[in-house]
Amino acid sequence: MRLFFLLFTGIIAIFPLYSYDSNVNDIIEKHESDIINNYSREGGHWNTLFSGNVGHSFLGNNNYIVGFDIAKMYVPYGGMRYNIHTFGLDYQHLNNENDSQSIVRINYAYFRYIFYYGAGIGVSGFYNISNKDIGIAPKIGGSMFLGITMINYYYRYNIVLNNVNNSYHETVFSISINIQIK
């Protein structure tokens, strides 16, 4: 329950509580071609992406991660720069020196891109099923967005809240396959 509370509090603190929808006066002032293309001279448009990802953490020899993400991508008018907010659910299986662990994570990340390359920060709440550790993991990293495929590389430090001596760091490399949702 603590993990859910910490994650919910973090999400509420990160996301703005105002709407991005334009009002009726903005629609009246738009040119007809802008309305059809869902563009605005002042802003841009939002896309929703669903992706499945698979990755490897360089913490141990057999440390694999699989998961699903839902991302909101904001593309300003022109499309050279864009932002992506990502929510995800991951399962991580770790084998280290005769010790097998299973970890479930709920993730949030914010990345800013210029053309294909991006950098960002994020945070995840995790629960280690094997030894009942609960914690948070801030992360920082880079990404390359190639339309349907995304290549991610990031560093995260796992802070175990119920046993600080079990805290550890890891570097993760993952590949995501994206599907746009209309």
Position 46 in a domain = no
Do the domain assignments include residue 173? yes
Q: Tell me the CA distances in angstroms from 152 to 106, 118, 129, 171, one per residue in order.
A: 17, 9, 25, 11
Give the model's pLDDT for residue 40.
44
In a domain, 10, yes or no: yes
Looking at residue 30, its pLDDT comes to: 53
Among the residue ranges 20-24, 143-147, 164-168, the one predicted with the least confidence is 20-24
Q: What pLDDT, in 10s, does the model give residues 119-150? A: 999 999 999 998 899 999 999 999 998 878 98
Specify if 36 maps to a domain.
no
Answer yes or no: is 160 within a domain: yes
Express as a percent the part of the chain with pLDDT over 90: 40
In a domain, 148, yes or no: no
Express each pLDDT in 24-50 by its tens digit: 455 555 555 544 454 444 567 788 889
Residue type present at position 162: N
User: Count of H helices and E strands in the chain?
Assistant: 3, 8
Say which range, 28-32, 56-60, 90-94, 132-136, has the weakest mean pLDDT.
28-32
Is position 40 within any domain?
no
What confidence tier does 76 reach under pLDDT thresholds 50, 70, 90? confident
Distance CA 157, CA 168 (A): 6
Q: Contact, 67 vs 90, CB < 8 A?
A: yes
The answer to the question of residue 145 being in a domain is no
Question: How far apart (Å, rounded) are the C-alpha atoms in residues 178 and 176?
Answer: 6
User: Which structural domain range is residue 84 located in?
Assistant: 1-15+55-140+156-182
Q: Is the pLDDT of residue 55 over 70?
A: yes
How many domains does one find in the chain? 1
